[in-house]
Amino acid sequence: MYDLLQVMQQDGYLSSGELIALRKTCKELGENPVRILRSLNIASPEQIQEYLQRYFRVNALGDQAISLLDESYQSYIPIDLAIHYSCFGLGEENSALYVALEDPSDIGVIQQLRFFLNKRIIGISATVFQLAEGLSKIYRVS
């Protein structure tokens, strides 16, 4: 199974040296590759989202969906979990909760949310900007 960094290297976006350095950084910091790529300005949130869509078949949150968010969406995820995981719920269908996340391919976060919410989690890719706007609209946090 490929991970995001490996896909980006195979696509020519990262060199093999950058791949090794980024893997080491992720391991040392215990951090998600998506956050590392974004924080170091190696890839924009939009570029990362496009890779997640193209190679991992992840659905992406549209700006129109963001415009529809309001405080009623608080019922899906408690504020403490939403802030801790930088995510918010979008809806529920057949015992599955759709959740906007920066990296829906992060199995660890998906499993933790499943544990805390006792629901099957379907991750939807959202940029850090969309997450900030969504959390602000739903939970009134900045």
What pLDDT, on a 0 to 100 scale, did the predictor assign at position 120? 97
Which helix (H) or strand (E) segment holds residue 59: the answer is none
Q: What is the pLDDT of residues 51-66, one digit of tens each?
A: 999 888 889 998 899 9
* DSSP-derived 3-state class of residue 124: strand
pLDDT band for 1, please (50, 70, 90 cuts).
very low
Query: In the sheet that 88-93 helps form, which strands lie side by side, from edge to edge?
Result: 88-93, 96-101, 120-125
Strand partners, 123: 99
Overall pTM surpassing 0.85 (yes/no): yes
Q: What is the pLDDT of residues 78-133, one digit of tens each?
A: 999 999 999 999 999 998 999 999 999 888 999 999 999 999 999 999 999 999 99
Token reading at 48: 């990362």
Q: What is the DSSP letter of 43?
A: S
Q: How far is CA 3 from the centre of its chain?
A: 14
